[in-house]
Structure 1
Amino acid sequence: MDSPLTTIGLPIALGIIMLGLGLGLTVADFRRVGRYPKPALIALACQALLLPAFCFGLVVALDLEPELAVGMMLLAASPGGTTANLYSHLFGGHVALNVTLTAVNSVLAVVTLPVVVNLSAGYLLADSTSIGLQFDKVLQVFAIVLVPVAIGMAIRALREGLADRLARPVKILSVIVLVAVIAGTLLKERDNIVEYLAAVGVAVLIFNVVSLAVGYGAPRLAGAGRRESIAAGMEIGIHNSTLAITVAVSPALLNSTEMAIPGAVYGIVMFFTAAAFGYLVTRPRATRPSSADA
């Protein structure tokens, strides 16, 4: 589960991908996020409050084993993964909003993740252990998200023509890298996939689909644009499963392989559900004829 592919290879690959995303961003994109804060605030509220509450109700309703239930809560409390930025980019979301949400969520997780996990562990486990989120994990997320994006933006600011020429090849490379990661993950875990899916597959799938739907639907209902809603949907629906696995198996934190199972299953399932979600919200829709046409 906690293999070099996910702990080393994926962050490096995503760092390269984030460089490509930065090539298409300008400071004006972030100013627009500041002028329209509603989608960001709604997404953060869903991430920090609504989804952990839903996940708790889900694990209780499904009567999961206590360790697996705590692993699900750990997943729900984890911030959005950097993969969300890539999916948002591929499906026309507001990438600047994604980058902002990932950065802010990573800071909030220092407080919200220990609180959510400790409260749920105290309720679900007979012998619970208090945890904290190590500061170096937060720095890793910032390094993967912000540094490559800043470099890409600097290239666009200094050499706009070069950024335009690089944008399409890098986007194609991003898809290739993502497919390679999916294939590698499936190959690495082929002996354990059936066992993992049997244990938490239903809970993970329900939580993932609800996360994507809430992330997209809540901003839309509040009047946000489609690009902003796609970004929020990806950010909320694609949790940082690598962080969840690391916290679960770390001897200094939870030290539980079983608690890492939901994160491992989620890390595989989310690739496919996020792609299906992106297709559904961006597919061409037939327009009804107007009364004038009739």
Structure 2
Amino acid sequence: MESGPLISFGLPLSLFIIMVGIGMTLTLRDFHQVTVNPRGMIVGSIAQILIMPLVALALAGALGLAPAIAVGLVIIAACPGGTTSNLFVLLARGNVALSILLTVSASLITIISLPFFTNYALGLYFGTSAEISLPVGKTIVMLVGVVLLPVALGMLVRTRAPALAIRAEKIVSLFGGVVLALLIVGLLYGIRDRIGELAAQAGLAALLLNLGGIVIGVVTSRMAGLSQRESLAVAMELGIKNGTIALMVTLTLLESSEMSIPAAVYGVLMFPIGFLLVTYGRKVIPALPKSLAEPA
């Protein structure tokens, strides 16, 4: 799946702007509450890092997937949530601070866990393994540049100019929704000639993995006593994956276009399903009171 300048440059820039806007909705108190009561972090991290790859292995066996497709499914399942998951959580009125912390922590843990599960799947289905290592420095730079820095800027704006932050919140939500819609159109256009083929090979597996992740996120969160907002954040982190990492592993490190098919299909399916989850969240979770005028 190739990406033109609009995607390779415009999307990161748009996400940076969106993350600044998300930062305007947060205070240090929000992050403090997550760390003081870490159940959401524990449940979300275990589900992302351990349960999702196991679900992928179970689906691959139950559906009788071809070896390359099965390995690709395990790879996308083992990937962390991406920056867009934070935006979806904001739109759905979930706990954005928890979502951001889960994105950061899972991305760092993935440096170790993703190669482990990838090699396990390769050994299981092909009887081989590969020397796979994710770029530590690049991952940290990405997290700082696309997540932490813009969020910190947004929080600073909220502290210094709370009235501006209040006005910007609706604009950011609208802008984020437009960006996501355009991204879906771009993804569909990019695979327009192979939609039928890709759906036949990995469509059902990718769909079940996505829905399974969302259900697991909601159920485990509620069993752990988390609130609706926290449960929605965990579910979104499990459903909205960083497909870029999966494509890097399959296309660059493993040099297998066939293994990349589940990531490509999942990357398309997760957006409309994410919007359905946003619709659900906005119906069941009331809007937060506007208390931005009080700096944290």
**What TM-score comes out, normalization by structure 1 length?**
0.92
- What are the ranges of 5 or more consecutive residues in structure 2 without an aligned counterpart? 286-296
Question: Residue 206 of structure 1 is aligned with which of 205, 208, 221?
Answer: 208
Distance 2:254 2:112 in 1: 16
1:158 aligns with: 160
Q: C-alpha offsets along residues 118-168 of structure 1, whole Å, 9 cap, x if unaligned?
A: 111111114432211112134223321111111111111121122112111
In the alignment, residue 239 of structure 2 is paired with which amino acid? G
Query: Which deviates more, 211-220 or 128-137?
Result: 128-137
Distance 2:81 2:284 in 1: 27
User: Structure 1 stretches (4+) deviating beyond 6 angstroms?
Assistant: none
1:3 aligns with 2:7: no
Query: Which deviates more, 87-96 or 117-126?
Result: 117-126
2:107–2:139: 8 Å Cα contact kept in structure 1?
no
2:264 aligns with: 264
Distance 1:281 1:161 in 2: 26
After superposition, the Cα gap between the structure-2 partners of 1:157 and 1:281, relative to the gap in structure 1 and judged at 3 Å, is closer
In the alignment, residue 259 of structure 1 is paired with which amino acid? M
Query: Which deviates more, 138-147 or 38-47?
Result: 138-147
Local SS of the residue matching 2:260:
helix
Distance 2:80 2:218 in 1: 16
* Cα drift, residue 186 of structure 1: 1.1
1:78–1:241: 8 Å Cα contact kept in structure 2?
yes
1:100 aligns with 2:109: no
2:142 aligns with: 140
* Cα drift, residue 6 of structure 1: 5.4
Distance 1:2 1:216 in 2: 34
2:89–2:99: 8 Å Cα contact kept in structure 1?
yes
1:91–1:278: 8 Å Cα contact kept in structure 2?
yes
Distance 1:46 1:26 in 2: 26
In the alignment, residue 175 of structure 1 is paired with which amino acid? G
Local SS of the residue matching 1:258:
coil
1:170 aligns with 2:172: yes
Distance 2:114 2:10 in 1: 25
Taking only aligned residues, the RMSD between alpha carbons, in angstroms, comes to 1.6
For residues 10-159 of structure 1, the aligned pairs below 5 Å read 10-135=11-136, 136-159=138-161
Distance 1:247 1:10 in 2: 21
After superposition, the Cα gap between the structure-2 partners of 1:184 and 1:171, relative to the gap in structure 1 and judged at 3 Å, is same
- What are the ranges of 5 or more consecutive residues in structure 1 without an aligned counterpart? 286-294
Query: What percent of counterpart residues are identical?
Result: 38
| Residue correspondences, number | 283
2:23–2:155: 8 Å Cα contact kept in structure 1?
yes
